[in-house]
């Protein structure tokens, strides 16, 4: 057991870091919801969604910055400092790639949203919802980490599902698309979405590490 873990028995319940985790994951879920709504909206309505995504991604970056400041100010933390840093960084990474997908759709003026793009945003939304549940509901209860273990299993399965959707989508593009510019455009959007699912798995890896240390 680490020195920090021993100190946790003698300090009040954390009121600094877990509220920041909740803010970050709440913004992450709303961002994923907004992206999923954007790809299901008519092209003329997407800019409003893209603007909201940009704002949400900036919010998460600011929360990451605040968390880093709190780490520099506080000696006692709810769990290991390196895991707190890794957790907020991993959440920020998910937001970055979803924002990147939205930015590419806007920049490239994507007309047709494919089923694969919609499916990947749906997978990422489900993964982000699992992240929020694990972080907000399960992580504060260090005596019962079964919820984290179950969420991580489901996130990892979703990441594998996203890989399959991505591989099939790219194969379809190269087989059926004749315009080289469209191949590049769609592959970049799909890659950003698939990378977001990889980063969701990155969050689950951090959560699993915390669960092992406190089991």
| Residue 32 to residue 50: CA distance in whole angstroms | 11
Q: State the pLDDT at residue 3.
A: 45
Residue whose token pair is 């190269």: 174
The CA distances from residue 48 to 29, 55, 171, in Å, are: 17, 11, 31
Q: Please give the DSSP secondary-structure letter assigned to residue 134.
A: I
pTM here is 0.92
| Residue 18 to residue 190: CA distance in whole angstroms | 33
| Residue 74 to residue 93: CA distance in whole angstroms | 24
**Superfamily of domain covering 13-213:** Phosphate transport system protein phou homolog 2; domain 2 (1.20.58.220)
Q: What mean pLDDT, rounded, does the chain reach?
A: 92
In this predicted model, what pLDDT tens digit does every residue of 81-124 receive, in sequence order? Answer: 999 999 999 999 999 999 999 999 999 999 999 999 999 999 99
In this predicted model, what pLDDT tens digit does every residue of 117-168 receive, in sequence order? Answer: 999 999 999 999 999 999 999 998 876 688 999 999 999 999 999 999 999 9
159, 198 Cβ separation under 8 angstroms: yes
**Residue ranges of domains in the chain:** 13-213
């Amino acid at each position: 057991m680490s020195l920090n873990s021993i100190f946790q028995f003698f300090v009040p319940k954390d009121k600094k870091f877990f509220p920041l985790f909740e803010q970050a994951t709440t913004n992450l879920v709303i961002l994923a919801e907004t992206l999923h709504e954007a790809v299901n909206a008519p092209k003329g309505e997407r800019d409003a969604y893209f603007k909201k995504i940009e704002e949400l991604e900036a919010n998460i970056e600011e929360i990451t910055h605040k968390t880093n400041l709190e780490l520099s100010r506080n000696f006692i933390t709810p769990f290991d400092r390196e895991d707190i840093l890794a957790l907020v960084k991993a959440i920020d990474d998910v937001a970055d790639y979803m924002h990147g997908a939205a930015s590419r759709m806007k920049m490239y003026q994507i007309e047709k949203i494919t089923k694969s793009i919609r499916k990947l945003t749906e997978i990422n939304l489900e993964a982000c919802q699992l992240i929020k549940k694990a972080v907000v509901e399960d992580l504060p209860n260090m005596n019962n980490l079964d919820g984290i273990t179950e969420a991580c299993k489901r996130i990892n399965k979703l990441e594998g599902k996203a890989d399959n959707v991505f591989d099939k989508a790219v194969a379809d593009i190269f087989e059926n698309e004749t315009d080289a510019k469209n191949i590049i455009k769609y592959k970049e959007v799909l890659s950003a979405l698939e990378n977001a699912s990889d980063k969701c798995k990155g969050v689950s890896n951090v959560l699993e590490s915390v669960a092992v240390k406190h089991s």
